[in-house]
Amino acid sequence: MNENGIVIIGAGHAGVQAAASLREAGFAGPLKLIDNETENPYHKPPLSKAYLTGAAADAQPLRAGVFFEQNGIERLSGTAVSAIDPAGQSITLADGWVLPFGHLVLATGSVARRLNVPGSDLPGIHQLRTRADAQALRDALAGARRAVIIGAGFIGLEFAAVAATRGIETTVIEASDAILKRALSRPMAEYLHERHRAAGVTFRFQETVAAFLPAEGGRIGAARTASGDDIPADIVLVGIGADAETGLARQAGLAVGNGIIVDHQLRTSAKNISAIGDCALFPHPQAEMPIRLESVQNATDQARCLARSLTGSPTSYDAVPWFWSDQGPLKLQIAGLSQGHDRTVLRGDMASGRFSVFCFRGDDLVAAESINQAADHMAMRRILKGVRRPSPSQVADAEFSLKAFAA
Ligand SMILES: Cc1cc2nc3c(=O)[nH]c(=O)nc-3n(C[C@H](O)[C@H](O)[C@H](O)COP(=O)(O)OP(=O)(O)OC[C@H]3O[C@@H](n4cnc5c(N)ncnc54)[C@H](O)[C@@H]3O)c2cc1C
């Protein structure tokens, strides 16, 4: 590492954790954390949960404001990086200022995917990625009577639960034939679908939006589906997923797929440049192909792993993936990667609202999805760290102690 130290682009979960972990690991050189947002770095998950319902009045800071100063982390906020020169080891900021780096960390996150149909820019159509987005949605919810959500993914469904709880007529339009089709096992997706339906949410599957139509006054009035129905709406959330923020990496000539390509130590194709968090496409021992994960766990564990590597203990990234989502009163927790599973085993009773679905690939346990069953989730995270796996009949047996097995 030369005297220019480490520059981190992106002060989200990954970037802030990287800065903190570097200091914890003893890195004493110059450390800069640059972000194009102006506010203090904050937790994103509550934006579609407690912040939206108003249970949390403000965004929850990732670290107290003094943390950065006390730890000698120079923050450049409201500052966009516009270019990287990998050979010259420097970056250019939007105002033209050039900053050299010894090592560069790309923690640029992801951006909400846009829906490009006529009327997409009408007032009343929202996306949800930043605190400002969440504030706009929260304000709009106050007077809303009919909500339309495009996309039955995690954020869309969390928002649907909030809207329906308020008595807002809520419709979800989804292109595929099920909710969370790529993310969840079929039994879990069917269970959640039924619970949302029972809470008053209407689903339109195998349907897309052809256009948004204005009401009198020019605000959103309805979503027109491809099959020609107009669904009235005074608020719309487009929740059709997010794309890795790869613009800078691409422009700099780094290898990029559906994320910035890194190796098992989170190194990009350019010397002295790493990528972590939502923007990174990485190999994982539990995945057949390189994957990109959008989760707080992945962002923070990759940051810790990189900090170890940059402070003299080269470390391969192999943390067990886990995730959570609050769907109204239901706490969904996922441990492992369920892609490619061919069998599921139910543990517990769905009717009780506390159960887990265990996903197997052949005889190999690869993931568990739990509803209001944190003990199963925690046990599964420990199990996936080791080599021994319980069998399908063991996990189905209520008398079998997963906790003891995990220990
Ligand atoms: C509404 C919402 C709810 C979520 N709920 C959950 C949940 O329940 N559980 C869970 O595990 N995960 C959840 N997530 C996902 C989780 O928040 C992300 O995986 C996590 O934020 C990724 O962290 P990151 O640091 O990689 O990216 P981000 O947090 O997106 O941070 C990237 C930062 O980089 C900045 N940046 C990008 N390009 C530049 C540039 N050129 N110059 C300067 N700055 C730049 C961006 O402005 C941003 O501040 C949720 C996400 C959202 C949006």
How far does the centroid of ligand 1 lie from the alpha carbon of residue 87, in Å?
28
In contact, 304 and 21? CB cutoff 8 Å: yes
pLDDT value, residue 189? 97
In contact, 45 and 300? CB cutoff 8 Å: no
pTM, to two decimals: 0.97
Is the model's pLDDT at 383 over the cut of 80? yes
How far apart (Å, rounded) are the C-alpha atoms in residues 376 and 337? 16
How far does the centroid of ligand 1 lie from the alpha carbon of residue 113, in Å?
13
* Tens-digit pLDDT profile for residues 196-209: 999 999 999 999 99
The residue-averaged pLDDT of 311-317 equals 97
How far does the centroid of ligand 1 lie from the alpha carbon of residue 44, in Å?
6
* Tens-digit pLDDT profile for residues 236-254: 999 999 999 999 999 999 9
pLDDT value, residue 136? 96
Q: Is 112 in the pocket of ligand 1 (CB under 6 A)?
A: no
Cα Dmax for the chain = 65
Q: What angle do CA 335, 197, 159 make, to 5 degrees?
A: 65
pLDDT value, residue 148? 98
Q: Is 299 in the pocket of ligand 1 (CB under 6 A)?
A: yes
Q: What angle do CA 207, 168, 228 make, to 5 degrees?
A: 25
Token pair recorded at residue 306: 């990189």
The fold for domain 329-406 equals Enolase-like; domain 1 (3.30.390)
Is the model's pLDDT at 341 over the cut of 80? yes
Radius of gyration of the chain (CA): 22
Pocket test for ligand 1, best of 296, 302, 306, 381 (most atoms within 8 A of CB): 296
CA distance readout (Å), 174 to 118, 148, 171, 406: 18, 11, 10, 38
* Strand segments (E) across 154-219: 169-173, 201-204, 209-214
Lowest model confidence (mean pLDDT) among 46-60, 99-113, 125-139, 364-378: 46-60
- The length of the chain is 407
pLDDT value, residue 2? 80
The DSSP 8-state label assigned to residue 199 in this structure reads T
Q: Are domains 6-47+58-111+243-310 and 125-240 of this chain identical in fold?
A: yes
* Tens-digit pLDDT profile for residues 76-134: 999 999 999 999 999 999 999 999 999 999 999 999 999 999 999 999 999 999 999 99
Q: Where are the domains of the chain?
A: 6-47+58-111+243-310, 125-240, 329-406
Pocket test for ligand 1, best of 51, 294, 332 (most atoms within 8 A of CB): 294
Query: How many helices (H) and strands (E) are present in the chain, helices listed first?
Result: 11, 25
Nearest ligand 1 atom to the CA of 35 is: 44
Q: Is 35 in the pocket of ligand 1 (CB under 6 A)?
A: yes
Token pair recorded at residue 316: 């391969």
* Strand segments (E) across 17-60: 31-35
Is the model's pLDDT at 266 over the cut of 80? yes
Of the candidate CATH numbers 3.50.50.60, 3.40.50.300, 1.10.3720.10, 3.60.40.10, the domain formed by 6-47+58-111+243-310 belongs to 3.50.50.60
The DSSP secondary structure of 242-290, one letter per residue, reads EEE--HHHHHTT--BSSSEE--TT-B-SSTTEEE-GGGEEB--TT-SS-
Three-state DSSP state, 284:
coil
Phi-psi region of 156 (alpha: psi -120 to 50; beta: other; left: phi over 0): alpha
Q: What percent of the chain has pLDDT over 90?
A: 95
pLDDT value, residue 65? 85
User: What do you get for the CA distance between the two ends of the chain, in Å?
Assistant: 40
How far does the centroid of ligand 1 lie from the alpha carbon of residue 68, in Å?
19
Identity of the amino acid at 30? P
Q: Is 10 in the pocket of ligand 1 (CB under 6 A)?
A: yes
In contact, 18 and 306? CB cutoff 8 Å: yes
pLDDT value, residue 322? 98
Is the model's pLDDT at 1 over the cut of 80? no
In this structure, CATH architecture of domain 125-240: 3-Layer(bba) Sandwich (3.50)
Q: Is 45 in the pocket of ligand 1 (CB under 6 A)?
A: yes
pLDDT value, residue 337? 96
Is the model's pLDDT at 57 over the cut of 90? no
Q: What is the mean pLDDT of the chain?
A: 96
Calculate the CA 193 to chain-centre distance. 21
Three-state DSSP state, 388:
coil
Identity of the amino acid at 359? C
How far apart (Å, rounded) are the C-alpha atoms in residues 157 and 154? 5
The residue-averaged pLDDT of 335-342 equals 94
CA nearest to 236, candidates 179, 177, 298, 169: 169
